[in-house]
Structure 1
Amino acid sequence: MTEQVTSGRPSSALRRVLIPLALAQFICSFAGSNMNVMINEIAKDLGTTVQGVQLAITLFLLVMAALMIPGGKLTDRYGRKRCLNLGLAVFGLGALISSFAQGLPILIIGYSVLEGVGTALLIPPVYILTTMLFSDITSRARAFGAINGMGGIGAATGPLIGGIIATAISWRAAFIFQAAIIVVIVLLSRRDVRDPVPADPARPFDITGAVLSAIGLVLIVMGILAADNNGWLMLGLIVAGVLVLAWFFAGVRAKERSGREALLTTELFKNRTSNLGLVTQNIQWLVLMGISFTVSAYLQVVHGYNPIQTGLILTAATVGLLLSSAAAERFAKRRAQRTLVMGGFIITVTGIVLFLVLNAVGSGVWVYLPGLFLIGFGVGAMLTPSVNVVQSAFPDELQGEISGLSRSVSNLGSSLGTAIAGTILVAGITKTPERSYALALTVLAAIGLAGLVASAFLPNTRPAAPAADSLPTTPHPSAKRNESGIPGFTAPPADKRTASPDPRAD
């Protein structure tokens, strides 16, 4: 696969492709965080509790995590562009249903289920298309920087934009906003987004594996949510989830030995560098979403801030994330990816500690801002290198599977972050609410330190050049367009399944 590159920059056609892909990541991340500042308003309007709204948020993130791997696999059979469009349609429908919800069950159907399913269908194509279309390491780093930057911005500005909309109009209007963005993405992607590799409708799909992987992940997260009610139920659900996932992996190995198509290939787990990158991705999103939920709830429940005030305070994290995301390309050129990920964790944990210390010794809005800024800057600095480590470790024919796995791991982290933080807040472990929020942030900081340890084992090298058979070339002006409609693309053989030695693999 090749790409038209001029001094390391993608063609104008590719730049146009990047806009709707980045917007798609933005709105999905926005949907996961904007609910945090509307917890009280939604609970009062729908006659439910803060825990009920937390359940809806966690289920949304969990549905994404459970279905992301099957969603990535479906792109091989039905095509990246078709899955993207279907995901956009389902997401938009869910947003409209949520805007008219009159009770928690309807909100869960629209937001948690339909928007979750839509996200699981549309996000894998975003990362697969980016990896396939941007083969030059510099342009790929820039593209991932833009997409992950927009994802981080969506997560960070969700509270602010959601707070403004909820205060000025209603929390329901925030879902109308999501539907409107979906329409914009559809219009932008119609002309410019093309599939560089034809779909294979005859390719089998592992339904049993999809069901087992989804059930296993759901059981584990539901076990964490049950921790505040029944310790034995928590343990039972988590053990059941682990056993189901073990059954799933046993089935994968059996299918591979018999030559049948499995939901995932075990080749994905033989790359040490990629495995470490997946661990860091999971922890990054766990910490980010856990902090977003904890701080948002703290500002509203303990201090009584309204949605727009809460969103404005959280803007400090948005500014930090914007600055580090904008510098992603420059960071990638100057520093090894291990250095960037480790530095991101160090800055993020420092931000959490600073938030706790200043909140303990001072009062007023200013005590929240320095820590939140560092948290945003640290997360933004490590999102892009972690994704690049994972996606770049595999050839094009495995991108559907690794993209689904990568997004599933990240969204599992998001759901775990919300579940862990929410469980600590309602478990009554401490004597005062303030100490409960401090405990939740302390636990998240400890998890961040675990991510730092994992990232220390990443190889201390800068991004390697693509393998010889995938180096970008500049096509002759007379080169014909292929299926993608963009000059210079050459599709890999459809039946190629085994990764060749790659200098990016560990």
Structure 2
Amino acid sequence: MPSSPEKVRVGRERAGADQDKRRKALILVTCCMSLLIVSLDNTVLNVALPSIRAEFDASVTGLQWAIDAYTLVLAVLLMPSGALADRFGRRRVFRVGLVIFTVASLLCSLAPGLGWLIAARALQAVGGSMLNPVAMAIITNTFTDPRERGRAIGIWGGVVGISMAAGPLVGGGLVEMASWRAIFWLNVPVGLVALYLATRHIPESKAARARRFDPVGQLLVALLFGSVAYGIIEGPLHGLASPVVIGSAAIAVLSLGGLLWYEPRRDEPFIDLRFFRSPPFTGAALIAICACASLGGFMFVNTLYLQEVRGFSALEAGLFMLPMALMTLIFAPVSGRLVGGHGPRLPLFVASVCFTLTGLLLALTTSPAGVPIWALLGGFLLFGIGFGTVNSPITDAAVSGMPREQAGVAGALASTSRQVGTAIGVAIIGSVVAQAHLTPTTFATAQRTTYWIITTLGLAILLITTTTTPTRRPTPTSPPQAPAPIEPQHRKPQRP
């Protein structure tokens, strides 16, 4: 029988372990709440687009900017915010982000016109850029065991499913009972509770050696993303041969060339291009772009179709999206467990098949008479399985491919790829829709083109998975290594 001192020691160890579990659980809950308000905001906004269009007499192009103003600003600021958190403290930046996002949500609800709404959405993105990547860094530094981290990321991905499930229903109900402005009120109580929990339970942490800021690189990335999106969105309105489109293409090419020339010559670049020499890391970024482009376009076109063409209310449209949300909610944690035990290839393969089948099913059944209800519901189910399955392996690959002291940058890279994909999807598919009048006959052609685009993106994910993704995750004894220190190309090697 163990002695009394031994019993005391064992009891203290168990109490300490239980307290550590509770602490980790509260940290995970707080971080997931930040993801909830960001994801919920995007889901709810899609359901409210027809109401915004009616109140402001907005064009399809204006609706595209209501979404892409957020995603583009978010994509540009995610990495600087991650580096800012690594340098000045992750909890501090996380709390500032919660304040900005909550205040900007109130401004969105008070917007007197479409331009004001777009500006408030951009301010939301400033706060949002300080939430998800920083929260991922906090999770990574809290859950250090690979399997434990995989489960935590699975729960994190499940929050997207919760937001997708609650967003269309709650948002549709608020639009029906009040107005589209009420959808932004949801962020206020959640943001305040998350702020309180972050203050109480999240410990402050910083990187051992924070990255330097790179304003030139950041400006080049902003010009690249912004010009590409602007050219795609405004192209149908001005024409492909217009100065607007040609000028946007020229700015994009020059910005990309500037990035490729300037960034390798910095000691600590804004985007370390050498990380993309790793096939798994590059594959994860490309898959994130393809998956989120599919999501952004799929939600955009089907929201307009259900309400503007089929004549459903916002609440009825939300009910149609419920199967997709439930599948995302169910399969996100399943995918996290698969990644933790077997690596990312299997869930990515499942996701690619689901995206491809969704596009094929809906493309082949679309007609001027409309999409059959059974096909529409089947498409939502398949897409939900695919999107729920794809998130965990993307995030895990991005975080595992970066050194732990730069976890903020790792989370930012994963989130940046998602936002870039969403912006591109809304820009491309929204431009296809913008060329069609919102009548059953003309809209059917745009729909069919949209679904073929989603099919192509699903096949692209399958190809990328097959060629870049390892069959199993790296073993815990072989953690990913940080890249070797950069030797700027403009410096001459020193003589011995």
Which TM class, normalised by the smaller chain length? 0.7 to 0.9
Q: Is the 8 A contact 1:26 1:152 kept in 2?
A: no
The secondary structure found in structure 2 opposite 1:54 is helix
Partner in structure 1 of residue 450 of structure 2: 440
Quote the offset at 1:10 in angstroms: 7.4
User: For each residue in 1:263-315, what CA deviation from the matched residue of structure 2 results, as whole angstroms up to 9, or x when unmatched?
Assistant: 23334223221111111111111111211111111111110111101011000
Q: Give the drift of 1:365.
A: 4.0
Match among 194, 201, 222 for residue 192 of structure 1: 201
What whole-Å deviation, never above 9, does each CA across 1:245-275 have from its counterpart, x for those lacking one?
Answer: 321232221113xxxx322333422322111
Q: Please show how residues 410-489 of structure 1 align to structure 2 within 5 Å.
A: 410-428=418-436, 432-467=442-477
Change (3 A) 1:224 1:467: farther
Indicate if the aligned counterparts of 1:160 and 1:308 stay in contact, CA closer than 8 A. Answer: yes
Shift in CA distance, 332/301, structure 1 to aligned 2, threshold 3 Å: same
Which whole-Å deviations, capped at 9, do the CAs of 1:100-121 have from their partners, x for residues lacking one? 111111111212x111111112
Q: Does 1:125 align with 2:134?
A: yes
Q: Which residue of 2 aligns with 1:162?
A: 171
Partner of 1:68: 78
Q: Deviations over 1:76-115 (max 9, x none)?
A: 222211111111111111100011111111111212x111
Question: For 1:311-460, what aligned pairs fall within 5 Å after superposition?
Answer: 311-333=318-340, 335-358=342-365, 360=367, 365-428=373-436, 432-460=442-470
1:236 is displaced (CA, Å) by: 3.5
Same amino acid, percent of matched pairs: 26
Structure 1, gaps ≥5 residues long: 471-495, 501-506
Contact residue 93 and residue 130 of structure 2 kept, 8 A: yes
How many pairs align?
Answer: 465
In 2: Cα distance, 1:100 partner to 1:439 partner:
36
Shift of 1:204: 3.5
Moved more, 300-309 or 322-331: 322-331
**Cα distance in 2 between the residues matched to 1:436 and 1:469:** 47
1:310-343 CA-partner distances (Å, limit 9, x unpaired): 0110001011111111322432355431121021
Q: 1:24 to 1:225 in 2, by over 3 A?
A: same
The residue number in structure 1 matching 2:92 is: 82
In 1: Cα distance, 2:419 partner to 2:292 partner: 7
Measured in 1, the distance between the counterparts of 2:447 and 2:343 equals 35
CA offsets 1:20-66 (integer angstroms, 9 cap, x no match)? 11121121122222111112211222343343222211211111112
Deviations 1:458-489 (A, max 9, x none): 3443222334679xxxxxxxxxxxxxxxxxxx
Q: In structure 1, give the amino acid aligned to 2:272.
A: T
Query: Based on CA coordinates, which of the two structures has the bigger radius of gyration?
Result: 2
For structure 1, which segment, 151-160 or 244-253, has the greater mean C-alpha deviation from structure 2 after superposition?
151-160
Q: 1:395 to 1:419 in 2, by over 3 A?
A: same
Aligned residue identity for 2:103: L
Sort the Cα spacing of 1:152 and 1:290 in 2 relative to 1 into closer, same or farther, 3 A: farther
Matches within 5 A, 1:286-301: 286-301=293-308
The one-letter amino acid paired with 1:317 is M
CA contact (8 A) 1:355 1:371 kept: yes
Q: CA deviation at 1:212?
A: 1.7
- Residue 225 of structure 1: CA displacement? 0.9
Q: Who is 1:240 aligned against?
A: 251
Letter in 1 for 2:175: A
Structure 1 CA distance, aligned partners of 2:342 and 2:41? 32
Are residues 1:102 and 2:112 paired? yes
Normalised TM-score (structure 2): 0.87
Which is richer in helix? 2
Q: For residue 279 of structure 1, what is the amino acid of its counterpart?
A: L
For residue 312 of structure 2, give the secondary structure of its aligned residue in structure 1.
coil
Distance 1:109 1:363, change over 3 A: closer
Asked if residue 224 in structure 1 is aligned to residue 232 in structure 2, the reply is: yes
Aligned residue identity for 1:462: R
String of CA shifts for 1:337-376, please: whole Å, max 9, x gaps. Answer: 1121021110122123223445559876444212101110
1:110 is paired with a residue whose SS is helix
Could you say which residue in structure 1 is the equivalent of 2:223? 215
Q: Is the 8 A contact 1:29 1:152 kept in 2?
A: no
CA contact (8 A) 1:167 1:307 kept: yes
* Most deviating of 315-324 and 352-361: 352-361
